[in-house]
Structure 1
């Protein structure tokens, strides 16, 4: 009987999974853009910029994700009508940016400094050398660690449940409430959905890593 209930409510779980995917994509894109800017600011920023970038990174790494969700949703909604989805993308995206910035920073610093020196000696501006020489190599170096961050953030989207985002976990809770129980079966179905999403994302990102890999580059 419970299996029939789960099948009957499968469209709701799939809808929640769709929201989870959208939330994960949104926060990862935001985290990538801001994280890359923070990393560049830490490595190549003018005086004062590295300190500011590091301070932002430390703050967002230090505050728990749930606290950030509450701050962005209930804080911003006091003077601007922000949706719970948008607040979750901002809160989790900026938190992810703090972690991604360290991935990109490490990748940038792994590029031999002689390459920048050679580019400058050839007359290239520093910004052009970073864009054309350093970043293409660094981003390839970062794909492995970035995959781990992406999978971690996919699972952390479940925290958006706390501010009312109707993602996979909240849909599961609605099903439990509507059917007066069957908690274990319903949440096990949600866990299975997260497992499928994580495996699919892992497969896709690993395939991307192999496509971007340059033979002998790591050595």
Structure 2
């Protein structure tokens, strides 16, 4: 089963980075940043992923001519799919992290500010390390959902799992067997992720 690099395997770093930035903005003391992050999360997570991916192809490429550096249609659609998945999944990463930030005692942040640390330093050195430890399980669920959501990229012709499965079924006419093989492939990808991150969650859990 051929999965293009960057869909099933390469997106988590980007969406977690953007999601972390959104979470930081959402708890920021700057009203404009809080308003942007809140609006972004509320809008993006309530739009179907298929709509976002199709919009990225029709709106960004066909209307605005944004190709993200690629020169061929498959490459353009692949990069636009990655962008769409990052933009969509980051909203869920943000909410998971925000719930983790809420578990950190307010007194720790206040003590750090009293020592002269800036908001950014408090967030980076005190709050986020504890927040990440508290939300390993929710983030693993987001990662598993992201892996399965990559199948939506077939809506704009990206040759990922469901696109390949459809082509094989049309060529071989063996619906049950081919579907079972692809389903097993996703189990192989997601089950170890859940088990490993579940173990990590127990190891790094904050003792209270």
Shift of 1:58: 1.0
Q: 2:40 aligns with which of 50, 56, 72?
A: 56
1:141-183 Cα shifts (integer Å, max 9, x gaps): 121110111111111111111111111111111212222x111
Taking structure 2 as the reference length, the TM-score comes to 0.88
Aligned position for 1:190: 182
Shift of 1:76: 1.4
How many aligned positions are there? 199
Shift of 1:72: 0.7
Aligned position for 2:119: 126
Q: 1:48, 1:125 → 2: CA distance?
A: 18
Shift of 1:22: 3.0
Matches within 5 A, 1:133-152: 133-152=126-145
Taking structure 1 as the reference length, the TM-score comes to 0.84
Q: 1:133, 1:162 → 2: CA distance?
A: 42
RMSD: 1.7
3-state SS, counterpart of residue 31 of structure 2: coil
Higher helix share: 1
3-state SS, counterpart of residue 22 of structure 1: coil
Q: 1:140, 1:184 → 2: CA distance?
A: 41
Aligned position for 2:73: none
Aligned position for 2:26: 42
Question: Any gaps of 5 or more consecutive residues in structure 2?
Answer: 69-75
Aligned position for 1:32: 16
Question: Any gaps of 5 or more consecutive residues in structure 1?
Answer: 1-13
Shift of 1:47: 2.1
Q: 2:67 aligns with which of 81, 90, 107?
A: 81
